[in-house]
Chain A
């Protein structure tokens, strides 16, 4: 069964690398966003192989189900034209190569060091069948890493408040309804009964 797992891993990894490279090479931004969705989905598949089912499903739920939907929403609305974006390609190329080279060197340093060699990381032992990944994660988050968890939560909350504060402004020209006032309307406010004689033929 181990070989089959390896086979599945390679299939997923191939799809992952292919779709991730297509994200930046494909011309149409909508297709790029869809490839990014495929990348996330395949990544979740690989995480499932690592028995990290909670993280895998959360990845699909948060990134595929919510973030990318909003992304697509924006990309479709903007109707981006790609061509002008490619004009400065040559002039930006040296900077891009420099950044890429630095990242490559850093990664080589990391991976070739003795602490991070793959021999130092034997494949984790299979968890017993009744071990719930979710429960273990929750236990760790709310006991050992509670402080870090709370800090992350506060940062997210601040981000939400900031985003709302930036976009919420009074716009006097827009007309919106106040349902409480609509419900509170009485007959006297809207209806005027006029007494008048009937018209002659």
Chain B
């Protein structure tokens, strides 16, 4: 009995040790976004609060916390308030299986990749429910757009991951990283380049980030699904969006960039490589936002269904042949027991 209580306590401590840094990184990601985009547009970005603006995220947070949460009339109060939680919870739950270093993982699931896919696919409920519960046309339009978009890109994303698990021979994220050991040229980025590109772009679409942010589309539908949200309820949506971004960046680092492995074989592997790679992918997110204009809705659908899905299907066939005939240095299955 005492053992199981201790086990529970230890697990809770581990969860806190993952989530606390995550939430702090979300706060500083918002600052980084404004600074990076500022630099790209030859501005300074926020620099008033604290040293060089480092206090800005906390100023924003306190502002949002003290604001009133307005509930629209004739809206479903219960769903209206659950929606932000529904979008945040899966974004945080998915972190349970992310390996930060060799063995440094909360839950070493055998079906970790599948779990991640399931969790990211649940996140769409927050958006849909928010749009419907707000009892507003703009919010509803945003929710509809988002639902169609996420369903479309999830398929491409899933297919891209099938390629990864075919080469790695495992659904366990730790094993996927271990299958990439042997320096930069063993990373899955090279044999699976089309899938890596499709995965990352689908990830950008899945998190509703620019240039795929039609769900918010402030120039057409004001702010999309969260137009009626204010104060902390809005902040939770914001938190979920950025937590999802970090999630996609971390997954790209794990599945295509070799996770905690160093680019030079056996030279200083560790969590710092994982963090550097994740930060690089996050920088790409910000870079995209500063560079590309927003896609039109029909162009998004065309890209998802008519380009990404055929590309992934073709590459899965290629990988299938390569794995079957054990071609080249990449496609000998290194995972154990198959």
> Interface on A for B, CB 8 Å cutoff?
1, 4, 30-31, 34, 37, 53-54, 57-58, 60-61, 64-66, 69-70, 72-73, 76-77, 132-135, 176-177, 179
Contacts and interface: CB of A to CB of B under 8 A. Distances in A.
Given A30-B132, A53-B110, A57-B118, A176 B298 contact: yes
B140 interface: yes
A32 to B, nearest CB: 13
A138 to B, nearest CB: 10
> Main SS of chain A's interface residues?
helix
Interface stretch (B13-21, B34-42, B145-153): B145-153
A1 B4 CA distance: 9
A65 B154 contact: yes
> Main SS of chain B's interface residues?
helix
A19 to B, nearest CB: 14
Given A69-B147, A72-B147, A135-B338, 19 more contacts: A37-B125, A53-B109, A53-B110, A57-B114, A57-B118, A58-B114, A58-B118, A60-B121, A60-B122, A61-B114, A61-B117, A61-B118, A64-B121, A72-B125, A72-B128, A73-B144, A77-B144, A132-B110, A133-B110
A133 B4 contact: no
19 contacts: A1-B4, A4-B4, A30-B79, A34-B129, A37-B125, A53-B110, A57-B115, A65-B117, A65-B121, A65-B124, A66-B121, A69-B147, A69-B151, A73-B128, A76-B144, A132-B110, A134-B171, A135-B110, A179-B302
Contacts of A31: 79
Nearest to B114: A57
Interface residues of B, number: 29
A31 B79 CA distance: 9
B24 interface: no
B151 A66 contact: yes
B121 A73 contact: no
B111 interface: yes
B110 A69 contact: no
Contacts of B150: 69
Nearest to A72: B128
A104 to B, nearest CB: 34
Given A1-B4, A132-B110, A134-B110, A73 B148 contact: yes
A57 B132 contact: no
B251 to A, nearest CB: 15
Nearest to B109: A53
Nearest to B338: A135
Contacts of A69: 121, 124-125, 128, 147, 150-151
